[in-house]
Structure 1
Amino acid sequence: MYNTYYGLTAKPFQLNPDPNFYFGSKGHSRAMAYLEYGLSQEDGFIVITGEVGAGKTTLVRNLCRRLQSEKIVVAQIVNTALDAADILRMAAASLDLPFENVSKAALLLRLEMFARDCAKQGKRILLIVDEAQNLSHHALEELRMLSNMQSYDQPLLQTFLLGQPEFRAILMSEGMKQLRQRVIATYHLGPLDEDDSRAYIEHRLSTAGWQGDPCISDDAFDAIYGYTQGIPRKINTFCDRMFLMGYLEELHAFGTREVDKVMADIDEEFAAPPSTEVGTDHTIAELTPASSDIDAIERRVSRMESSVTTLVDALRKMISAPLKSVSSKNP
């Protein structure tokens, strides 16, 4: 909605991981170095962990974009709430191999034959597994067994495991000793610091063609960092909301007042509603909402009405814009 109003060529704060918007912060640059080192080893597992929204998927997609496709076949598994047999099927599916109504032995044979064919062409397989914290121990063991595939002492498959912080605890558990021995590098991707958070916002805006409109004050950048704590996905969500507000209210500058308003809107919308649980032994007086609860409900209803009005206004703007353009050409 706000792209045209601010002269942007793309949506700068989309949630979908896009390597075109990759920002090499200090942490992301170190993580990229670990990934590149792992690739150079051509063997074992590389583990990257980080909080939800830290940018793990964008990091790996940027790496994949830089890989030489004639040497590496990339396969990715994103749905990991699977048992051991299903993880093999997902691996086969990601490589476009038949996997339905096939026994485990047949799956393993097809995967190995495909890997050997790739090796004959001078290629190797890179398997990227996202949300690794959801994998069962049996599924992780199947992935470890896949990593044993070799041809004349040359590894045929390498695996990147991306997961949330709890995956580190899983790796350190008693049953994961053999897998840990196959991990050649691991890195935890933390949030952006204050300087990188500002640079991240400016980088995404510049990538989308930003020419300084709207301007963002230093205090506004500080406030955004304080609210999002440097988590890229939170920054995207917040800034997208702020730019939408700027479009609707025709703003060309964002300061702390505008940032505070967006914070209040988001906090109000996601606030927990008053408890409605009722016990059989409560008196009528206890069941009567307090005035503070009534006020809170009225504020929420008012906020919902405001949100609906905002959406309607945005739709009207989108619809009326082309109509005005046509009428101006045909007086």
Structure 2
Amino acid sequence: MYEDQYGLSGRPFALTPDPRFWFETATHRKAMAYLGYGLSQGEGFIVVTGDIGAGKTTLVGHLVDTIDAARLRIITLVSTQMNPEDLLRLVADGLGIDGHGLAKADLLKRIEQGLHATAREGRRTLLIVDEVQALPTDSLEELRMLSNIQAGGHPLLQIVLLGQPEFRDSLHGSDRLEQLRQRVIAIHHLDPMEPQEIEPYMIHRLSLVGWQGKPAFTRDAFEALHEATGGVPRLVNQLAGRVMLFAAMDRLETIDAEVIDAVIDDLAADVHHPTPQPLADAEKAGAEAEAMQRIAMLETRVEEQDAALRRVLTLLVDWVEGGDSQRSEPVMGSSAA
């Protein structure tokens, strides 16, 4: 709706991650640097963590867009509570291998063959696992075993793990993940945007859909956006989209902190319903009497329906019994003949 009002070619603040809207904040710049360093090593694990909505998926999308497909084969998995064999089957599928019905030993053999085939093409294989905090420890151990596959002393598989902060805690706190931890060659945590990054972030996304300065944003609007969202990109997008809709409905030419606050109040009202005020004694008594009257009426209707149902069942039983006696006479007569 607001796209038409302001002459935009699309929605600048959609919640679905879109690499086209990549914006390099300071923390994302560091993440890309760590990813670049890790990929140059060609082995081990690269770990990127961040809170929900921090931009991990957008980061991966941007990474994939910048990678030369002639040099790297990329397999991307979004993790759930996958057991090791399900994980292996998804990796096999990414290599173009049908792992359905294969025993684990055969599946591992086929995966190794697939990695060797990719290497013969002059490419390495990069496995990206998103939402890795959902993976059981056994599945993480299976990933570590896959990272050991080599040819001529060179690893055939490198793995990027993306997850929420609890995965970083598990990685450093679990004795069972000690061997995996030793294979991590780069790790970075995505922080929220800084206050001074909100304005260029907003302008960047708006400009990609043809924004020409309408509506205009005041400086205190950007400050209010950061204060309300903490700089988390997804929350910024969510609030900014509602702000744009609010402004379009009121045909506003300028968005300031007051507009942001008004939208925040609307969102709060959607979530928190007002607590009903206690009724005065007279009103309460009247309400209770009305409720009792309705209950009495309902009980009367239930009794009437129950009586009607019993009558119908009685007639049905009589009809069935009568029908059976009529149908049995010809049959008996026929047998006698």
The bucket for the TM-score relative to the shorter chain is 0.7 to 0.9
1:191 corresponds to which residue?
192
1:144 corresponds to which residue?
144
Note if contact 1:80-1:87 (Cα within 8 Å) is conserved in structure 2: no
Give the alignment's Cα RMSD to 1 decimal.
1.5
2:9 corresponds to which residue?
9
Pairing 1:152-231 to 2, within 5 Å after superposition: 152-172=152-172, 173-231=174-232
Note if contact 2:79-2:135 (Cα within 8 Å) is conserved in structure 1: no
- Change in Cα spacing, 1:105 to 1:50, as seen in structure 2 (3 Å) is same
Q: Take 1:2 and 1:272, find their aligned partners in 2: how far apart are those partners?
A: 27
For 1:74, give the aligned amino acid.
I
For 2:227, give the aligned amino acid.
G
For 2:278, give the aligned amino acid.
A
Q: Take 1:272 and 1:39, find their aligned partners in 2: how far apart are those partners?
A: 51
Q: Take 2:185 and 2:274, find their aligned partners in 1: how far apart are those partners?
A: 48
- The one of 247, 268, 290 equivalent to 2:278 is 290
The secondary structure found in structure 1 opposite 2:188 is strand
Alpha-carbon shift at residue 265 of structure 1 (Å): 1.1
Q: Which runs of 5+ in 1 are unaligned?
A: 275-287, 292-331
Alpha-carbon shift at residue 225 of structure 1 (Å): 0.5
Pairing 1:266-277 to 2, within 5 Å after superposition: 266-271=267-272
For 1:57, give the aligned amino acid.
T
Q: Take 2:265 and 2:87, find their aligned partners in 1: how far apart are those partners?
A: 43
Note if contact 2:126-2:160 (Cα within 8 Å) is conserved in structure 1: yes
2:329 corresponds to which residue?
none
- Change in Cα spacing, 1:289 to 1:247, as seen in structure 2 (3 Å) is closer
Bigger shift: residues 218-227 or 262-271: 262-271
Alpha-carbon shift at residue 273 of structure 1 (Å): 7.8
Higher normalized helix content (fraction of residues): 2
The secondary structure found in structure 2 opposite 1:11 is coil
For 1:171, give the aligned amino acid.
L
Aligned-residue identity in percent: 45
2:84 corresponds to which residue?
84
Alpha-carbon shift at residue 213 of structure 1 (Å): 0.4
Q: Take 1:10 and 1:185, find their aligned partners in 2: how far apart are those partners?
A: 37
Q: Take 1:94 and 1:151, find their aligned partners in 2: how far apart are those partners?
A: 20
Note if contact 2:47-2:186 (Cα within 8 Å) is conserved in structure 1: yes
Note if contact 1:80-1:130 (Cα within 8 Å) is conserved in structure 2: no
The secondary structure found in structure 2 opposite 1:141 is helix
| TM-score of the superposed pair, with normalisation by structure 1 | 0.81
Query: Aligned residue pairs: how many?
Result: 278
For 1:210, give the aligned amino acid.
W
Note if contact 2:217-2:256 (Cα within 8 Å) is conserved in structure 1: yes
Q: Which runs of 5+ in 2 are unaligned?
A: 280-337
| TM-score of the superposed pair, with normalisation by structure 2 | 0.80
Alpha-carbon shift at residue 267 of structure 1 (Å): 1.4
For 2:70, give the aligned amino acid.
E
Note if contact 1:44-1:184 (Cα within 8 Å) is conserved in structure 2: yes
